[in-house]
Amino acid sequence: MFASRMGDPAVLDLSVNTPVAMASDAFAKAVERAIKAPGMDWQGYASRKLIQRLRLAGARWLETRGIMARPEEIVPVAGGQAALAAILGVLDIKSLGIEAQTYSGVIALAQGRALKTIDLHMDGDGVLPKSLTDAGVDAAILTPTLHNPTGKIWSKARRRDLLAVAARSGTLVIEDDAYGPLADIEPMTALPSGASTLFVSTLSKIVAPGLRTAFIWGRGQTIEKLSSAIYATGWGMAPLMMEVAVQWIESGVVNEQIAAQRLEIEARHRLATAFFPELRGNPPSPHIFLKTCAPAELFELAGVRVAGSSAFSRRPVANAGIRISLSAAPSRVALDVALSRCAEVTRAHARL
């Protein structure tokens, strides 16, 4: 029906959530420093020593998220998606609750396994506690902070209610904190509760996806099981990137990056609000979700690649809309042009 503009360099790709690009030579310099790190075998598998250093760095990192973790409670993995796959692969999870609107990787993970998957209904404040009760699942993957795709932050009351339900029903809460460091709210996992939780923190959305670095944190038998499978998960990481991650966490570069990301995202979100007033009152999120029946292909024809609702939901018609990644634009000027085109498309389609 639509002529494809795949591969057309004139199309601005705002369909993938990536952090705002950092100064071009920062990554190269970090890699050079890492290569020169004493005793570094960057052609080999990660050594136990390097894994241990990354665990220690992970503990330091999680402290900034309000989580006091011991290194042995941390499992480093090659990104958030690998973390979720490791959890589902290693633990005995037979039924899984997923947000009715969720990040595409979760849908893909659920589809690829012999697992009973139940959609958890949501309102503007996140997953409904009753839906979690009714689902009665072994585990649920939740993204309460700058949820993907909606960009919402679930209230503290909702978080507490969900934890209470999980504690009652013995549901393991897997909190995906991919965007958490970009917001001012403590993770759900840091709240006192009787629920069993696993916390997944990736550096992909706040520093660089190419680092392929994430941490899983939890307590007791759950994390012990994951930890003893570390060679099935940790081997997926490239030693060079592990070294960069360690150095960036230890030197505070990660925190500087987050501060810079947050400033830029605030400005970009303000810009988006000018085009789409319905976003007013939403937290400054690196991505926005617009409710529209206009298909993603129409935006592509207008020169902007966006992600359509079928990427985020198993019932896309019930959640029709598009997600635009504000942080993926190379500049605010480019974003301004793209948003104005998207606004035109949504307005024109609403008039049909």
Ligand X SMILES: Cc1ncc(COP(=O)(O)O)c(C=O)c1O
**Non-local CB neighbours of 258 within 8 Å, separated by 6+ positions:** 181, 182, 206, 207
Residue ranges in 192-221 that form contacts with ligand X under rule CB under 6 A: 202, 204, 209, 214
**The one among 143, 189, 282, 309 contacting ligand X by CB under 6 A:** 143
Burial, 160: exposed, middle or buried (Cβ in 10 Å; 0-12, 13-18, 19+)?
middle
Give the count of beta carbons closer than 10 Å to the beta carbon of residue 60. 16
**Non-local CB neighbours of 39 within 8 Å, separated by 6+ positions:** 49
Residue ranges in 118-137 that form contacts with ligand X under rule CB under 6 A: none
Closer Cβ to ligand X, 148 or 302, answer by number: 148
Query: Total residues at the site for ligand X (CB under 6 A)?
Result: 14
Give the integer Cα–Cα distance in Å for 268 and 272.
Answer: 6
Closer Cβ to ligand X, 59 or 77, answer by number: 77
**The one among 17, 150, 201, 319 contacting ligand X by CB under 6 A:** 17
Site string for ligand X, 59-98 (x = CB under 6 A): --------------------xxx-----------------
**Non-local CB neighbours of 33 within 8 Å, separated by 6+ positions:** 244, 247
Closer Cβ to ligand X, 100 or 298, answer by number: 100
**The one among 148, 171, 197, 292 contacting ligand X by CB under 6 A:** 148
Residue ranges in 241-260 that form contacts with ligand X under rule CB under 6 A: none
Least separation, in Å, of the C-beta of 212 and ligand X?
7
Spatial contact of 118 and 96, defined as CB atoms under 8 Å apart:
yes
Give the integer Cα–Cα distance in Å for 234 and 12.
Answer: 35
Interface residue list for ligand X (CB under 6 A): 17, 79-81, 103, 105, 143, 148, 176, 178, 202, 204, 209, 214
